[in-house]
Chains A and B, each alone.
Chain A
Amino acid sequence: MKRFTFDDTEPFLAKLRELLATGTPVERIEVATPFPVHEALLLLKTPVSRLKFFTFTGALTGFCAGFALTIYSATSWPMSHGGKPIVSLPPFMIIAFELTILLGAVASLLGFLYLARVPAPKYILTSIEADGKFAIFVEEL
């Protein structure tokens, strides 16, 4: 494993370009930066995040769960309230809406944790190489 560290984006990107130009395949390069450097993501051809699938699944689950919970509980013991129908969809929509957002957000968070491989016990327990630097790691064969 080869490691290059920099204090600024300029030399970091320069080195990255150089590495790619010299034919190092992107699969063997890993970079760590203190803030997102979009040029580096482009250079490394980082695929578009699959997080949206998690988000969509969560939100859809929340939406359905909201209606399911409200309609099930209203019909399981039908009680009349102020002349309103047992299944009163407008108020139930509010619950469905809130649950859409809640489960959407929670699923996004969980999806993120999974995709970004955090929490990473290894990096919690041991110190991280070149923490806070613009770093390039090249995996050696």
Chain B
Amino acid sequence: MKTEPVNNAAYYEQVEADVFAAMQKPRATYWLALAISLTCFGIGLACWGWQIFSGMHVSGKNNPVGWYMYITDFVFWVGIAHSGTLISAVLFLFRAKFRKAFNRSAEAMTVIAVMTAGLFPLIHLGRVWFFYWLMPYPNQRLLWVNFRSPLVWDVFAVSTYFTVSAVFFYIGLLPDLAIARRRITGIRQWFYRILSIGWRGTAKQWSHYEKLYGFLAAFATPLVISVHSVVSWDFAMSVIPGWHTTIFAPYFVAGAIFSGCAMVITLVVPMRKILGIEQYITVDHFESIAKLLLFTSMIVGYAYILEYAMAFYGGNVFETAHFMFRMLGDFRKPYWLMCFCNVLLPLTLFIRKLRRNLVYLFVLSLFVNVGMWLERFVIIVTSLAHDFDPYAWGNPNWSWVAIGITVGSFGMFFTFFLIFVKVLPVLSVTELKEERAHETLHI
């Protein structure tokens, strides 16, 4: 229903100008942030080098606890990756409008987080120099991999996830890269020229483009669920009390989205401020994300309670003892802190005022990040530390190397994210334009 002719040309120009202004020469704070991230990254690499050189004993693991912080980090980063796909693909399929504010940074976050996560299965290998034995390839030994192993599923799931989310990210970027090619001059232009692969935006191209985007979204949605299910099966397929449980797949997927939403808030709140794009990412958008956070938090909380219910209702001596240990044993502090961060604190989001308070949201998201890291830590360590045979019980050791590599993973993540915000448009200009056109012209 057209009422009066509207001229959107000025708006289009404004969006482009605002978004590309963010890609201008960075300020000192940016360099400082980058320097800190790079330092952490370097520390992580140095720790990894030291671990390869001197052996896995530096990572604090021991006999019952064969997996420790690295697998915690792996699950954490895979989880972080998930909300990116959720926001860009699932919400796309559901036509949720608020995704347009976050989808680019969330997709970038996905790609970077999967890259980070993908390193950890290598870091935790005793003989990382033979990591390629995990891949099925024809070789002179006539030997393949064991496809029954959840670790091989991981190899497939994580590499598929990385490939698909990278493609999805790139395809979403393509029209914006074409804008960048036009707006950015000098030697940098060539970068965008090549990346935009001669995209012109003809009618044919757009028709294929929209199809592709839809297909990728449709692929990514079951993929995201399968990936975290596979990650959860690393645990659920074992016999260890506390791991061997059927709710792990949905529980992990919900937890992944939960942590991912928190990480989006952590990243986007300062980003919109620093890059001056407040008018495109509004408090309303954050409120929507906060609702998603609250919803997934309640699923996670339900899963926590359900685990106990199953253990005690089942009456299995190992399960019961294990969950008593989780609650009251040597790792009770991280356990209760995790419950506080993941279940209690997000309940405050029922209050509208807090939901719309960005400072509060930011602080809360940090707590949730910590809480979700601890969740994986508690699941992994408590289950391994106290399983069937009391003689073999034992706690892992404190390790600076493992801490260093964990810090390094954050360093790597933020380094790549910081590079992303200065190199690529952090908002989908094309989609914003399209949305405006839809709103005003009702085409």
Q: A34-B430, A88-B148, A102-B160 are in contact. Are A49 and B7 (CB under 8 A)?
A: no
Complex formed: what's the CA distance from A10 to B441 in Å?
8
> Nearest residue in A to B222 (C-beta to C-beta)?
A101
Which residues of A have CB within 8 Å of B5? 10
Contact A69 B156 (CB under 8 A): no
Contact A35 B430 (CB under 8 A): yes
Contact B219 A119 (CB under 8 A): no
**A70 close to chain B: CB less than 8 A:** yes
Per-residue CB contact flags for chain A residues 101-135 toward chain B (1 = under 8 Å, else 0) read 11011101101110111111111110010011000
Contact B164 A101 (CB under 8 A): yes
4 extra A-B contacts, CB within 8 A, seeds A34-B433, A94-B226, A120-B197: A32-B201, A51-B215, A74-B147, A124-B196
B311 CB, min distance to chain A CBs, angstroms: 24
**A18 close to chain B: CB less than 8 A:** no
> Nearest residue in A to B223 (C-beta to C-beta)?
A101
27 A-B Cβ contacts within 8 A? A35-B175, A35-B201, A35-B430, A35-B431, A35-B437, A41-B203, A46-B204, A46-B207, A49-B210, A52-B215, A69-B136, A82-B148, A88-B148, A102-B159, A102-B160, A104-B215, A105-B160, A108-B212, A108-B219, A109-B171, A112-B212, A116-B204, A118-B205, A120-B197, A120-B198, A132-B179, A132-B182
Contact B175 A73 (CB under 8 A): no
Q: A77-B143, A101-B219, A131-B182 are in contact. Are A33 and B206 (CB under 8 A)?
A: yes
**A31 close to chain B: CB less than 8 A:** yes
Complex formed: what's the CA distance from A92 to B200 in Å?
42
Which residues of A have CB within 8 Å of B433? 34-35
B431 CB, min distance to chain A CBs, angstroms: 7
Interface-central residue, B142, B179, B205, B209, by most chain A CB under 10 Å = B205
**B434 close to chain A: CB less than 8 A:** yes
**B57 close to chain A: CB less than 8 A:** no
Which residues of A have CB within 8 Å of B171? 109, 112
Which residues of B have CB within 8 Å of A115? 204, 208
Q: A73-B147, A105-B167, A128-B200 are in contact. Are A39 and B156 (CB under 8 A)?
A: no
Complex formed: what's the CA distance from A34 to B209 in Å?
13
Contact B198 A119 (CB under 8 A): yes
Our pick among A34, A76, A98, A121 for the contact of B201 (Cβ within 8 Å) is: A34
**B216 close to chain A: CB less than 8 A:** yes
Contact B7 A8 (CB under 8 A): yes
Q: A8-B9, A9-B8, A46-B203 are in contact. Are A109 and B167 (CB under 8 A)?
A: yes
The list of the 7 closest CB pairs from A to B, nearest first, reads A123-B198, A120-B198, A73-B144, A7-B9, A119-B197, A49-B211, A35-B434
A22 CB, min distance to chain B CBs, angstroms: 19
Which residues of B have CB within 8 Å of A99? 156, 160
> Nearest residue in A to B16 (C-beta to C-beta)?
A132
**B443 close to chain A: CB less than 8 A:** yes
Query: Secondary structure at chain B's binding surface: helix, strand, loop or mixed?
Result: helix
Q: A7-B12, A101-B160, A102-B163 are in contact. Are A92 and B182 (CB under 8 A)?
A: no
**A40 close to chain B: CB less than 8 A:** yes
> Nearest residue in B to A124 (C-beta to C-beta)?
B198
Enumerate chain A interface residues (CB-CB to B < 8 A).
Answer: 7-10, 13, 30-41, 44, 46-49, 51-52, 55, 69-70, 73-74, 76-77, 79, 81-82, 84, 88, 91-92, 94-95, 97-99, 101-102, 104-106, 108-109, 111-113, 115-125, 128, 131-132
Interface-central residue, B5, B8, B437, by most chain A CB under 10 Å = B437
Which residues of A have CB within 8 Å of B430? 34-35
Which residues of B have CB within 8 Å of A44? 203
B427 CB, min distance to chain A CBs, angstroms: 14
Q: A34-B175, A98-B153, A108-B216 are in contact. Are A122 and B198 (CB under 8 A)?
A: yes
Per-residue CB contact flags for chain B residues 354-392 toward chain A (1 = under 8 Å, else 0) read 000000000000000000000000000000000000000
Q: A33-B201, A95-B153 are in contact. Are A73 and B136 (CB under 8 A)?
A: yes
> Nearest residue in A to B168 (C-beta to C-beta)?
A105
Q: A31-B202, A69-B136, A91-B148 are in contact. Are A116 and B209 (CB under 8 A)?
A: yes
Contact B8 A55 (CB under 8 A): no
> Nearest residue in A to B433 (C-beta to C-beta)?
A35
Contact B437 A94 (CB under 8 A): no
Contact B163 A105 (CB under 8 A): yes
Interface-central residue, B146, B202, B431, by most chain A CB under 10 Å = B202
**B193 close to chain A: CB less than 8 A:** yes
Which residues of B have CB within 8 Å of A48? 207
**B336 close to chain A: CB less than 8 A:** no
A14 CB, min distance to chain B CBs, angstroms: 10
